Structure 1
Amino acid sequence: MDKLTNETVIEKLKSQFGDGITHISEPKGLLTVETHKDHIIEVLRSIKEDDSMQFIYLTDITAVHHPEREKPYAVVYHVHSLVHNVRIRIKVFLEKENPTIASATVLWNGANWMERETYDFFGIIFEGHPDLRRILNMDELGVFPMRKEYPLEDPNRVDKKDFYFGR
């Protein structure tokens, strides 16, 4: 069996999805691929079921909020090929209004809890999820705490004033 490299994975994805793969990078050697939300299940299924890649272990699903971007929410999938000991990160950027994406539970049962956590903290809606509800926060919490919508500190705190520090 030939060693699986990032270049091999890139070639396979480009040949199969073409313009469906929008950006490729390798920060610190970790292959990172961006795709559209319409293609995410096809891309995940492809890397999982391809006998030459075998990315069968879904390590994590999370999100990142970039409020300065046009599409501020990035859903990030970390997948590992245990056979080849190669990892890949797949990102999908979602619009601010109605951030929805297809659920990966059709491929991995373990995606259930990861998607619930991502929903709970970022408000990303995973269409087709069997039980999308809060998992760690209170049900009556009206916000999604990991969104960068609020200041990090209370501006009314008096113990953070410069004159207390001789400035």
Structure 2
Amino acid sequence: MPEALKQQLNDVFTDALIANEEALGEVTIEVSKENLLDVCRKLRDHDELAFEQLIDLTVVDYKTYGQDEWATTEATGVGFSRGREESQAVNQPWQRERFAVVYHLLSISLNQRLRVKCFVEENRPTLPSVINIWASANWYEREAFDLFGVLFTGHPDLRRILTDYGFVGHPFRKDFPLIGNVELRFDAKQNRCIYEPVSIEPRVLVPRVIRKHKEQTVYVAAPEQGGRDA
């Protein structure tokens, strides 16, 4: 079925697709920003595609993609031994645009799914809204704007949806501090809520690997979270 869908997409869109791939039983196509609306509209209206429903929309931040402590695509995925070799550290910087907006589509009538990917540049992450094609994009696009900072032109009400309206920054970007920039508290003297710089000290919450020499590796557990009984 994925192979048949891939062929249908090639026949319908010819040169409008940047990529058309199948992995894990699902087809993913990539389109340019300029072709996004035309492709999405045809995905909905074409009788052999009939993707009537947008079931999800999200953003992928590729800022640190390809950078890791070891080559996870080559090393074993189980056990601590995969982190022993110091030479396994890799640094393959991402060469394309930083952000990709991903649309997950469902054809109820034809019982098939499709993933649509569209990359946007970091300094101006804008895309046309698909709200006039799939009404369900309304809150999804607001969430993507709130958490990643992607602007959807043509959206009728592009406001934050999860963070406060006065919030500064976008929490799901990989360069956003894990503890945030500010914290909110109620000030009894001023009888209102105020923002202040965060007072939380960042802590490492993942195991640390201390390599003494090649024959011996010591693993130190992450510090336990306080406030809960063992």
Q: CA RMSD in A?
A: 2.7
Matched, 1:100 2:126: yes
User: Deviation per CA, 1:15-55, whole angstroms, max 9, x where unpaired?
Assistant: 33333211122121110111101111111111110112211
The TM-score, its normalising length taken from structure 1, stands at 0.85
Structure 1 position 161, deviation (Å): 9.6
Q: Specify which structure has the higher proportion of strand.
A: 2
For the residue of structure 2 that corresponds to 1:104, the secondary structure is coil
Distance 1:43 1:157, change over 3 A: same
Please give the residue correspondences for 1:16-27 in structure 2 after superposition, counting only pairs within 5 Å.
16-27=12-23
Task: Please identify the structure whose Cα radius of gyration is greater.
Answer: 2
Q: How many angstroms apart in 1 are the aligned matches of 2:35 and 2:205?
A: 50
Q: Superposition pairs for residues 37-76 of structure 1, below 5 Å?
A: 37-68=33-64, 69=94, 70-76=96-102
Does the C-alpha gap of structure 1 residues 55 and 161 become closer, same or farther in structure 2, counting only changes over 3 Å? Answer: closer
How far off is 1:159 after superposition?
Answer: 8.5
Q: Which runs of 4+ in 1 moved over 2 A?
A: 5-20, 150-163
In structure 2, the residue corresponding to 1:26 is in which secondary structure? strand
| Whole-angstrom distance in 1 between the partners of 2:174 and 2:202 | 19
Listed one character per residue, the Cα deviations across residues 48-86 of structure 1 (whole Å, up to 9, x for unaligned) are: 101122110110111110014330101000000111211
5+ residue gaps, structure 1: none
Relative contact order (alpha carbons < 8 A, sep ≥ 6): 1 or 2 greater? 1
* Structure 2 stretches lacking a partner, 5+ long: 65-93, 180-199, 211-219, 222-230
TM-score of the superposition, structure 2-length normalised? 0.63
Moved more, 123-132 or 46-55: 46-55
